[in-house]
Amino acid sequence: MQNLTPAQATVIASLISGLVAVIVCLINNRAIVNKQKLENAKRDAKLEMWMQTVDRKLDTHNGYAERFGEISTDIAEIKTAIQFLKEK
């Protein structure tokens, strides 16, 4: 290998340190992206659990509404029967 002038050595050192800086930035960016993907997956899982809970509560509420209609019919029938017994 031939002897380098100080200017050439400085340029080579600058290129090497620049290349190392770019590689470090790429590694850091990849780590940040992976961390964000993990956080998004956790958030999506929590959201899915919340939606399932809301769906379950809504189904339960809908069941009560259906039964309330049946209870209202039963109450009307009971009132009719009481009225019939009072008239006897």
* Residue partners of 12: CB distance under 8 A and separation at least 6: 4
According to the model, what pLDDT value does residue 1 have? 52
Report pLDDT digits (tens) over 14-47: 999 999 999 999 999 999 999 999 999 999 999 9
Residue 59's pLDDT band (boundaries 50, 70, 90)? Answer: confident
Other C-beta atoms closer than 10 Å to the C-beta of 43 total 10
pLDDT of residue 24: 96
pTM of the model: 0.50
- Pick the range with the lowest mean pLDDT from 6-10, 52-56, 62-66, 83-87: 62-66
Structure tokens given for 54: 């809301």
